[in-house]
Chain A
Amino acid sequence: MTAGGVFAAALQGVGVAAGAPFVVGGMRQVRARLEGRAGGGIGQPWRDLRKLLRKQVVTPNGTTVVFAFAPAVIAGSALLIAVAAPLFATGSPLDSSIDLFAVVGLLFIGTVALGLAGLDTGTAFGGMGASRGLTVAALVEPTIMLAVFALSIPAGSTNLAAIVSTTQHHPGQVVSPAGLLAFVALSIVIIAETGRLPVDNPSTHLELTMIHEAMVLEYAGPRLALVEWASGMRLTVLLSLLANLFLPWGIGGDHPGVAGVLVGAAALVIKVAILSTVLAAGEVFMAKLRLFRVPELLAGSFLLGLLAVTASYFFVPALGGST
């Protein structure tokens, strides 16, 4: 544990927490402009959060503590991943205690908390959202695990920092069959996990197509603010991980100085800005899939993930990992 690592981890937490609403706002703005609208501006999600945080805390009749604390759990798990993952630098002090399997588990804990909250309301929409959300998650999380395992095999470790620094030292690995398959699989599941088109429409409130929105329909005020903020953080963290796993240039090392961390932060901001713009621009040209076509898409990406792992067993790159 170094001072630089602690600094990087703290800055990651603050950066993701503060930056996530801007990522969401930026994506909305890109969509708005491409669709010929003026858009609310990149800061609109922040203004929404401020407004929601000043509203009354409203507890619906008949809900339990699960409903009350689920937003804090999902936001807390997202924040923890932001602190532990190699975003600005690889030296986070939590990296050795929270490896890839734990990161996937933390993502899943957030999904489960939100699904239980949806069920807790006892409304038809809550149950519908929970059922759909958990079905998607049950297929998405295994794929995330497989895809990143395919990348972890050359590194000889499941700790994200080790994977990122192996890719940093051997950039050729990204274009190996395993790397390419894993990239495609991971991109698809990140779209599904964060509820973007074509799996879920983040701006819909149309009853029959909702997944994420259906689960959070009963939330209002500060709790809704937490849920919105958390889903922005999940999107930001996953896009950052995608960027750093495949394109780790600019990221600070295990013992980063202040300059290294700041360069890493700047590099990540650029990477996430590009990725989110591409994602938002892609959404403009896409229609939402029918709900029961979504599992086919996810099964496809699961298969790609499986092939990625298999490929990394069969094609051992000459540069090797730690062994």
Chain B
Amino acid sequence: MSTTVDVAPAPHTTPEVIAHPSRVGAAVLSGGLTAALGVAGISLGIAGLFHKVASVHIGWLVPLVGVQLNLDPLGGLFVTVTGAVAVPVGVYLVGYARHEHLPRLSLAVLPLFVAAMLLVPMAGSVTTFLLAWELMALASLALVLTHHRRAEVRTAGGLYAVLTQLGFAAILTGLLVASASSGADTFAGLAAHLDRMSPGTRSVVFVLTVIGFGSKAGLLPLHAWLPRAHPEAPSPVSALMSAAMVNAGIYGIVRFDAQLLGPGPRWWGLALMVVGGASAMYGVLQASVATDLKRLLAYSTTENMGLIVLALGAASLLSSVGARDLAAIALTAALLHVVGHAAFKSLAFLCAGAVLAFTGLRDLDQMGGLARRMPTTTVLFGIAALGACGLPLGAGFVSEWLLVQALIHAPRGGDSTLALAMPLAVGAVALTTGLGVAAMVKAFGLGFLARPRSEGAAKAREATPSMVIGMTLAASVCAVLAVAPVAVGPALRHVLDTLSGIAVPNTPRLGVMLRLPGAGSMSPALLAAALAVAVLAVIALAQWGARHRPEPATVPLWACGADTLTPRMQYTATSFAEPLQRVFDDVLRPDTDVEISHYAESRYLVEKVAYRAQFTDAIEERLYRPVVRGVLAWAGWVRRAHSGSVHLYLAYGALGLLFVLVAAR
């Protein structure tokens, strides 16, 4: 029986690159610069979180308005997170660039990309913000197109360019409307002159900015670039994009829609919850059937950003009904999840990069058995996967716990909007957690355990020391967040102080024991310790009767008595996800095909069975295609006016000029 599974683009095989001395030098320079920028970002961010940092105005840099840089605790948190992602990536890059060819342009743009990401949360005026935003978008586009000789990379790059620029246009329009109607360019001015904006204008700005920032955060329906661009970019770039750049979208929503324009009317919160909940569920569903490791991680980013936006929406909704203490819990959940997601997702992408560099594989169907060949990478990916599935002992557990607490303790009675929104949100979070576990078990179990399913996996080697150091840095942050979220407690409290429009300053204390007044308590550290004690106790109990036992033995697999088990008989990622694919058939709409060819002699004997499953993004198919078709039809119609006659063009010009003159009078 032959199984042809054509789910992901064929893995690109990487010829062993003999590192040229000058290329090593360039990699060390680029990695060092990236890590240094990261360290600078962390120290600046921490300064911004805990102290008052003087604002900087550079008048000559940009005509008319100049560049305005401010650093408040909210910006400080995102600067710190970006810096903390950049440090491990920079260290990792040194080893990575020796094995995977990275052109000089990419190596040069990488630190620039980090600098732009650090600038975005520091911007203190609309102009500066937009400049930094566009710099970040262009730098990331250049990095996505690193391996532009491959067709998939060019398609992904094109899609990313279009969606990111559409998002930028929405943000630009929204912020210009806000700036024009309040008559201020700086954020401080915007906040001071908020009363000059009518509620209608504010809602227009809200919708435009949520669309724009949502496209950057990978939220539905503008998420389609994420599962394409992240897998095609080099892995250190994927880590930066998926762990740090998407946060810029969250930052924008918090800064503009929660802090400067907010608190808004109730439907703002509801809209954010709907977008966030839909993104979370759709993302996790796609992740649970994805077989390309990096594509799976990219969809998991959509899922996690969805959860964060759901939490932000819940905070806004709760604050609009007066439950400001619960709004503080929801906001804490959102911010903590930003930090946690940055930690485990950067680690996951770095591990995926190590696998890609040393096996040439991205397709889970071809992997397997890496635990024996790459033990360190396996352990580190396990830490990342545990964080991503939101189980206890993982970096994502505490924030999901806080989110659920905020949702289920919403004030009851009277308000039917709240009574409908909150249970549905709890259901969405619960289902997301459940499916997230299945997705991550698939990524870890199929990719790293069992036996190699291909030549590449069988010949894997452990990652180089600098890559391991980079990954270990990220893993240690994951471990701290998993058992001691108390470490980020003070920072989050300072951030919440700047969001006093929504949440009360009396924020949840992230101590060793998380105790929420009137909601419940939990202690991640005690839970981890108790579980360790329980497992040790069980191991000790299992020693009962040990003296009667013969010596332990290592024997061949029993496998129901079969004597020749080949690796091809194992379950693959596609077969693992098949039950889920069946259950959610209506949402995923997979394109599956079973081809059975018979022997010529008898049609009762099967010669070959070929199974093909192709997962296209259902939203892309049904939303983007009609839009693209519409645009093309319109363009075809407009083209009729372009006949090539110069006389006609002169007439258009003259008519246009006359029209402008009349309008300007």
Q: How far is the CB of B373 from chain A (nearest CB, A)?
A: 11
Q: How far is the CB of B493 from chain A (nearest CB, A)?
A: 22
Question: A80: which of B412, B437, B534, B559 is its contact (CB, 8 Å)?
Answer: B534
User: Which of A35-78 touch B at CB < 8 Å?
Assistant: 50, 53-62, 64, 66, 69, 71-73, 75-77
A137 at interface by CB-CB < 8 Å:
yes
The docked-state distance in angstroms from the alpha carbon of A145 to that of B423 is 12
The docked-state distance in angstroms from the alpha carbon of A115 to that of B441 is 8
The docked-state distance in angstroms from the alpha carbon of A314 to that of B422 is 11
Closest chain A residue, CB of each to CB of B547? A54
Question: B534: which of A76, A100, A306 is its contact (CB, 8 Å)?
Answer: A76
**A120-B449, A313-B412, A323-B518 known; A142 vs B571 contact (CB < 8 Å):** no
Q: How far is the CB of B134 from chain A (nearest CB, A)?
A: 41
Question: B520: which of A53, A99, A105, A145 is its contact (CB, 8 Å)?
Answer: A99
- Interchain CB contact under 8 A, B441 and A60: no
Q: How far is the CB of B394 from chain A (nearest CB, A)?
A: 9
A11 at interface by CB-CB < 8 Å:
no
Chain B residues, Cβ within 8 Å of A96: 513, 515, 521-523
B549 at interface by CB-CB < 8 Å:
yes
- Interchain CB contact under 8 A, A123 and B557: yes
Interface string of B551-585 (1 = CB under 8 A from A): 11111111110000101011100011111101100
Interface string of B412-428 (1 = CB under 8 A from A): 11001011101110110
Chain A residues, Cβ within 8 Å of B519: 156-158
Closest chain B residue, CB of each to CB of A162? B520
- Interchain CB contact under 8 A, B553 and A58: yes
Chain B residues, Cβ within 8 Å of A99: 520-522
Q: How far is the CB of A133 from chain B (nearest CB, A)?
A: 9
Q: How far is the CB of A83 from chain B (nearest CB, A)?
A: 7
- Interchain CB contact under 8 A, B434 and A138: yes
Chain A residues, Cβ within 8 Å of B371: 64, 66
- Interchain CB contact under 8 A, B545 and A50: yes
Q: How far is the CB of A71 from chain B (nearest CB, A)?
A: 8
Chain B residues, Cβ within 8 Å of A153: 408-409, 412
- Interchain CB contact under 8 A, B397 and A105: yes
The docked-state distance in angstroms from the alpha carbon of A305 to that of B577 is 25
Residues of A within 8 A of B (CB): 17, 50, 53-62, 64, 66, 69, 71-73, 75-77, 79-80, 83-84, 94, 96-102, 105-106, 108-109, 112, 115-116, 119-128, 130-132, 134-135, 137-143, 145-146, 149, 152-153, 156-159, 162, 207, 217-218, 220-223, 225-226, 291-292, 295, 299, 302, 305-306, 309-310, 312-314, 316, 322-323
Chain B residues, Cβ within 8 Å of A217: 558, 560
- Interchain CB contact under 8 A, B559 and A54: no
- Interchain CB contact under 8 A, B401 and A310: no
B654 at interface by CB-CB < 8 Å:
no
Question: A157: which of B427, B518, B535, B565 is its contact (CB, 8 Å)?
Answer: B518
Closest chain A residue, CB of each to CB of B404? A101
- Interchain CB contact under 8 A, A61 and B522: no
**A109-B392, A153-B408 known; A225 vs B542 contact (CB < 8 Å):** yes
- Interchain CB contact under 8 A, B555 and A119: no
**A96-B523, A119-B571, A131-B575 known; A106 vs B531 contact (CB < 8 Å):** yes
**A109-B392, A139-B434 known; A322 vs B518 contact (CB < 8 Å):** yes
Chain B residues, Cβ within 8 Å of A124: 569-571
The docked-state distance in angstroms from the alpha carbon of A218 to that of B559 is 7
9 contacts between A and B (CB under 8 A): A76-B531, A76-B535, A79-B537, A116-B445, A123-B570, A137-B437, A158-B404, A295-B583, A313-B422
Chain B residues, Cβ within 8 Å of A100: 520
- Interchain CB contact under 8 A, B451 and A98: no
Q: 10 extra interchain contacts, Cβ-Cβ under 8 A, other than A102-B522, A142-B433?
A: A53-B542, A57-B549, A58-B553, A60-B554, A64-B449, A72-B538, A80-B530, A80-B534, A102-B392, A156-B409
Chain B residues, Cβ within 8 Å of A71: 542
- Interchain CB contact under 8 A, A138 and B392: no
Residues of B within 8 A of A (CB): 288, 368-369, 371-372, 389-393, 397, 400-401, 404-405, 408-410, 412-413, 416, 418-420, 422-424, 426-427, 430-431, 433-435, 437-438, 441-442, 444-446, 449-451, 513, 515, 518-523, 526-527, 530-531, 534-539, 541-542, 544-546, 548-560, 565, 567, 569-571, 575-580, 582-583
Q: How far is the CB of A15 from chain B (nearest CB, A)?
A: 15
The docked-state distance in angstroms from the alpha carbon of A229 to that of B505 is 49
Question: A131: which of B372, B522, B576 is its contact (CB, 8 Å)?
Answer: B576
- Interchain CB contact under 8 A, B530 and A105: no
**A131-B575, A146-B427 known; A72 vs B539 contact (CB < 8 Å):** yes
Q: Among A56, A102, A109, A306, find the residue whose CB has the most chain B CB atoms closer than 10 A.
A: A102
- Interchain CB contact under 8 A, A97 and B437: no
- Interchain CB contact under 8 A, B433 and A120: no
- Interchain CB contact under 8 A, B538 and A149: no
- Interchain CB contact under 8 A, B520 and A138: no
Q: Among B288, B446, B520, B546, find the residue whose CB has the most chain A CB atoms closer than 10 A.
A: B520
Q: How far is the CB of B537 from chain A (nearest CB, A)?
A: 7
- Interchain CB contact under 8 A, A122 and B368: yes
The docked-state distance in angstroms from the alpha carbon of A78 to that of B531 is 10
Q: How far is the CB of A183 from chain B (nearest CB, A)?
A: 17
- Interchain CB contact under 8 A, A101 and B560: no
Q: How far is the CB of A132 from chain B (nearest CB, A)?
A: 6
Question: A309: which of B369, B423, B441, B446 is its contact (CB, 8 Å)?
Answer: B423
Q: How far is the CB of B454 from chain A (nearest CB, A)?
A: 14
- Interchain CB contact under 8 A, A115 and B445: yes
Q: Among A60, A80, A134, A302, find the residue whose CB has the most chain B CB atoms closer than 10 A.
A: A134
Q: How far is the CB of A136 from chain B (nearest CB, A)?
A: 9
Q: How far is the CB of B181 from chain A (nearest CB, A)?
A: 38
- Interchain CB contact under 8 A, B420 and A310: yes
Question: A79: which of B445, B534, B556 is its contact (CB, 8 Å)?
Answer: B534
The docked-state distance in angstroms from the alpha carbon of A322 to that of B549 is 55
The docked-state distance in angstroms from the alpha carbon of A61 to that of B600 is 41
